[in-house]
Structure formats: C-alpha cells, structure tokens
C-alpha cells in the first residue's frame, strides 16, 4: 500500500466582513448574544464571489504551496452543499479554471464533514495506486442559503474555501481515518433542493433556507466529537496525550470547549478561528489547517474532526 502526505494547503475568503454589530442592524440580535453563545465575532460573506471562484483561489494557493502544476493533478474533489450549479459540478469548473487537464473531477455532499469524507476518498485512491496527486477542496457560499430574517441561523454561518493537496509518498503521514453517518437523524439540519414537480405532480412550496434545531445539533456534536477522536486513535500507537493539535470543524466555540472539558484535554490544543469566519461548513477544516500550519512542527500528531448535516461525522489522524 502506498503512503500519503499533505503537500500543499490553501484558503480563500469571501469579499465582505459582516460583523456582529452590522448583523444587529439586520435582525434582532446583539454582539453580546452571539459572542457568548457561539464565540463568533465576524464572518466573511460573498459580495459577488461564487463557490467555484472561492474554491479555485484556494486551490491555486495550495498548488503554489505544494510547488506543483495544475496539470499534474490526477483528481479533484470538491466538498460542498452550495454548488453554483448542479451540473457541471463545482469540481469540473475548478478543473477548467486551473487548467488541470488530466484530472478526474467530481463533487461530494457531506455537509460539514465533507472535507473529511473527500480526504478519505483521496487518500484511499492514492493508497490503492490509482492516482498520485489529489486536490480536495471544501468550498461554500452558505450566505445564499440563509434566511437573513432568522436570527437562530443567520448569525452562525460564513462563506469561504480551503484546499489541500494529498500526494503519494514513501514516508506515510496519514495514520488513520474514521467516518460514519446516521441518516435516520438527519432532520435536525436541512437544506432543501428543487422540490418534486413534474407533469403529474403540482409543486409544493418548500423553504429554500437552511433550517436547524440548534439544541439537537449541539447534543449531537458534543456526543460525536469525542467518539471521532477515540475511534481515530484506536488500533494505532498514538495516544490522546501525543496529540499536539486538534483541528475541529469550526461550528461553535461552546462545542469545542465542551469537548475539551469532557475529554480532559487542554483547550488551548483546540485550534479556533470561528471568531473571524463563523461556520463555513465543508470549508472550515481546510481553512483552519491553512491558518494553523504556521504552528506545526515536523512530527506533530494532529487530529482533524468533521461533524454535521446528514448526519455525518469523521476524523483523520496525521503526522506533520
């Protein structure tokens, strides 16, 4: 089996910084409520950038960081729940923007776990010898799915993209992976698609907006993240105390702090940038990786954890 390593990381921000103060002029909320309940202060939202544009910009930076040409990529996977179009896929449009002529390109949908799921596909594809260089992008323009009159959701989300290049190597750096889903309980976090209508069926009106049962999501997240961390360490020689950095999906500061407390982990080991970005779904882990990597040292053990709509969850154990 081939080894796999991360060889490049990039990220990109949407064009407009929406502060809690400005949000308070749009809906009945306050900086104090948002900060104490979520830890979020600002979020970047699109003032014209598409999911493809954000994804392509993050990808170009990751390619530069890896020092490889787009034409060397064998596969492009975009994790998103906010594609610009159903067809072509965002990945195909990114392929075109980059000039990645020999890639196989496709999108996956696993909400906030999308980057972990996409990484698993990429890593397994390299391990089996099918491909050598794979670009995995998490990219979202969630702001177009938000009801800006609904204070329960509109304060939480932001737009952006992050990208990671996985490459075949003799010196394996991906130590373990774990993913799972629970479709039975998916109704706590939903985003409708085109409603069913045709020559036989009259259209029923459905809300086009993201809907969330915040308390259920909170319970799910604080329960599943410790399981993700334990599972990814199982059958490895790595212990919890060996982990130098926990890069969790940036949903809510209270979720991160609750997990740290439950697992008796020093909360300073949990990277946080949700104060600047809000929750960017599939983009949040690669954006966090891009920002956290300045503090990584060679040999550091790192755990990545995604959790979200579906329900979906997963984790990755890697060595820097």
Q: What are phi and psi of 131, to 5 degrees?
A: -140, 165
Cα dihedral 115, 118, 124, 125 sign: negative
**Catalytic residue status for 112:** yes
Exposure on the CB side of residue 210, measured as CA atoms within 13 A: 27
Do you find a cis peptide bond into 311, omega within 30 degrees of 0?
Answer: yes
Among the listed residues 20, 228, 249, 252, the single catalytic one is 249
Q: Choose which of 156, 258, 289, 305 interacts with ligand ACO (CB under 6 A).
A: 156
Query: What gap in Å lies between CA 33 and CA 35, rounded to an integer?
Result: 6
Residue 152 near ligand ACO by CB under 6 A = yes
Stretch that binds ligand ACO, among 117-125, 207-215, 231-239, 269-277 (CB under 6 A): 207-215
Does 151 participate in binding ligand ACO (rule CB under 6 A)?
yes
Q: For residue 176, give both structure tokens.
A: 């373990």
Candidate list 112, 154, 228, 245, residue with the active-site label: 112
**Is there binding between residue 14 and ligand ACO (CB under 6 A)?**
no
Strand 159-169 versus strand 174-181 pairing type? unpaired
Measured from the CB atom, the residue of 34 and 108 that comes closer to ligand ACO is 34
Interface pick for ligand ACO out of 11, 12, 38, 143 (rule CB under 6 A): 38
- Measured CA to CA, the distance from residue 245 to residue 316 in angstroms comes to 12
The count of C-alpha atoms lying within 13 angstroms of the C-alpha of 64, restricted to the half-sphere facing its C-beta, is 8
Q: Which of 279, 280, 312, 315 binds ligand ACO (CB under 6 A)?
A: 279
Q: Which is nearer to ligand ACO, 56 or 252 (CB)?
A: 252
Contact 248, 259 (CB under 8 A): yes
Q: Write down the least CB distance from residue 21 to ligand ACO, Å.
A: 13
Helix (H, G, I), strand (E, B) or coil at 259: helix
Contact 80, 188 (CB under 8 A): no
Tell whether residue 43 is a contact of ligand ACO (CB under 6 A): no
Binding of ligand ACO at residue 35 (CB under 6 A)?
no
Q: How many residues bind ligand ACO (CB under 6 A)?
A: 24
Active site residue 279: yes
The residue from 83, 114, 160, 308 that contacts ligand ACO (CB under 6 A) is 308
Q: What does the alpha-carbon distance between residue 16 and residue 75 come to, in Å, rounded to a whole number?
A: 31
Q: Which residues are catalytic?
A: 112, 249, 279
Q: Which residues bind ligand ACO (CB under 6 A)?
A: 29, 33-34, 37-38, 112, 151-152, 155-156, 189, 212, 214-215, 217-218, 221, 251-252, 254-255, 279, 307-308
């Amino acid at each position: 089996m081939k080894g796999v390593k991360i060889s490049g990381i990039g990220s990109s921000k949407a064009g407009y910084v929406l502060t809690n103060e400005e949000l308070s002029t749009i809906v009945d909320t306050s900086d104090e409520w948002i900060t104490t309940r979520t830890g979020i202060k600002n979020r970047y939202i699109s003032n014209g950038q598409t999911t493809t544009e954000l994804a392509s910009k993050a990808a170009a930076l990751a390619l530069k960081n890896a020092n490889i040409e787009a034409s060397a990529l064998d596969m492009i996977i975009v994790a998103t729940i906010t594609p610009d179009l159903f067809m072509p896929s965002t990945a195909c449009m990114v392929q075109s923007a980059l000039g990645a002529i020999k890639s196989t390109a496709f999108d996956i949908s696993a909400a906030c776990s999308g980057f972990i799921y996409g990484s698993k596909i990429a890593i397994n594809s390299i391990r089996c010898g099918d491909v050598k260089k794979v670009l995995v992008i998490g990219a979202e323009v969630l702001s177009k799915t938000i009801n800006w009159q609904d204070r329960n959701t509109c304060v939480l989300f932001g737009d952006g993209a992050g990208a990671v290049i996985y490459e075949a190597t003799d010196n394996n750096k991906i130590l373990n992976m774990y993913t799972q889903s629970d479709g039975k309980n998916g109704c706590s976090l939903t985003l409708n698609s085109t409603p069913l209508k045709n020559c036989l069926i009259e259209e029923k009106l459905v809300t086009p907006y993201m809907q969330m049962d915040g308390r259920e999501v909170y319970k799910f997240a604080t329960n599943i993240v410790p399981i993700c961390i334990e599972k990814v360490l199982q059958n490895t020689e790595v212990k919890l105390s060996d982990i130098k950095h926990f890069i969790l999906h940036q949903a809510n500061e209270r979720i991160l702090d609750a997990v740290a407390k439950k697992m008796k982990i020093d909360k300073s080991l949990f990277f946080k940038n949700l104060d600047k970005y809000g929750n960017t779904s599939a983009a949040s882990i690669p954006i966090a990786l891009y920002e956290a990597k300045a503090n990584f040292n060679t040999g550091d053990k790192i755990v990545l954890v995604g959790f979200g709509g579906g329900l979906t969850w997963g984790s990755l154990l890697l060595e820097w």
